[in-house]
A = this chain, B = another copy of it.
Amino acid sequence: MKSTEIETDASLPRLKITLRLLHNDEIAMGPGKAELLAAIQKTGSIAAAGKTMNMSYRRAWLLVDVMNRSFSGPLVHAAKGGRHGGGTTLTPLGLQVLDQYTKMATAVSHTAQAYLPLFSGFMAKRTDGSPTDE
């Protein structure tokens, strides 16, 4: 989910929505960081979470570092014992921020969706070989 992509109906155009929350001109939260948080919660490890996104440990750690600096407290609590230690978790604040961001993205998708049928009459026929071409 690099961005939220809406495609409810094959006859409707596809829409990509990206929501980025800024803090001090850094991206405090966005689609990639939200996906990383969810993966950390699932895997218990920053390295393993990064791997599910084809991201180096260094890159994943840098994203976590930006998040931990942007909010009023850390979103991720890194377990001691090295990268194989496991047990890395989201803090209660991390869970709240991820939940709130996800809710906002869902609400925004719903709003945008209402506009897609009107667009569909404006589009050229698809030529990308999709079996769902009109």
Contacts and interface: CB of A to CB of B under 8 A. Distances in A.
Interface of A: 3, 13-25, 28, 69-72, 93, 96-97, 100, 103-104, 107-108, 110-112, 114-115, 118-119, 121-124, 126-128
B17 A17 contact: yes
B16 A20 contact: yes
A22 B123 CA distance: 10
B123 A72 contact: yes
A126 to B, nearest CB: 6
Contact of A19 (B17, B22, B107): B17
A22 B16 contact: yes
A14 B21 CA distance: 6
Contacts of A118: 100
B19 A123 contact: no
A22 B17 contact: no
B104 A112 contact: yes
A73 to B, nearest CB: 8
A9 to B, nearest CB: 14
B18 A23 contact: no
A15 B35 CA distance: 18
B124 A23 contact: yes
